[in-house]
Amino acid sequence: IRGLSLWATQGLMPVVTVLLDISPAAGAARFTDAPDRLESAGDEFHERTRQAYLDMAAAEPERFVTVDAHGSIEEIAALVRAGVARRLAEIFPELAERLASGLGGETAPLNS
């Protein structure tokens, strides 16, 4: 998976990667249309793929924000916002206060 990602992005690596972690069964239960070829690949394929992503996240904890995606859309979105804000504050400490204040409302322009 890592090799395919590097090939697809021509070697670019994001500063932050959000991994939405959900069990294959729970993910499949959310399908609203007929499953496509990858979605129909079966639980074993999906569990191996999930584990490969979890292994990448464990190997690069400074880059990944892993979010439990079993909750509601609102719960997941809040976890993503908080996790990305924390990670960016770690990377760019001078922005920590602005990121924290932005979680509840408007943020000041970054160039002010």
% residues pLDDT > 70 (the chain): 86
The whole model's pTM is what? 0.73
Q: CATH for 2-102, among 3.10.290.10, 3.40.50.300, 3.40.710.10, 3.40.640.10?
A: 3.40.50.300
Show the DSSP H helices in 1-112 as ranges: 2-8, 24-29, 43-59, 73-91, 96-102
What are 66's two structure tokens? 């892993």
State phi, psi for 68 to the nearest 5 degrees.
-70, 115
DSSP 3-state of 81: helix
* C-alpha to C-alpha distance for 77 and 80, rounded to whole angstroms: 5
In which band, very low, low, confident or very high, does the pLDDT at 42 lie, cut at 50, 70 and 90? confident
The angle subtended at Cα 77 by Cα 16 and Cα 18, nearest 5°, is 20
Q: Are 63 and 56 in contact (CB under 8 A)?
A: no
What are 26's two structure tokens? 């729970």
What are 4's two structure tokens? 């395919």
Q: Which is more confident, 24 or 3? A: 24
Q: What is the pLDDT of residues 69-82, one digit of tens each?
A: 999 999 999 999 99
Q: Out of 30-44, 65-79, 98-112, pick the least confident.
A: 98-112
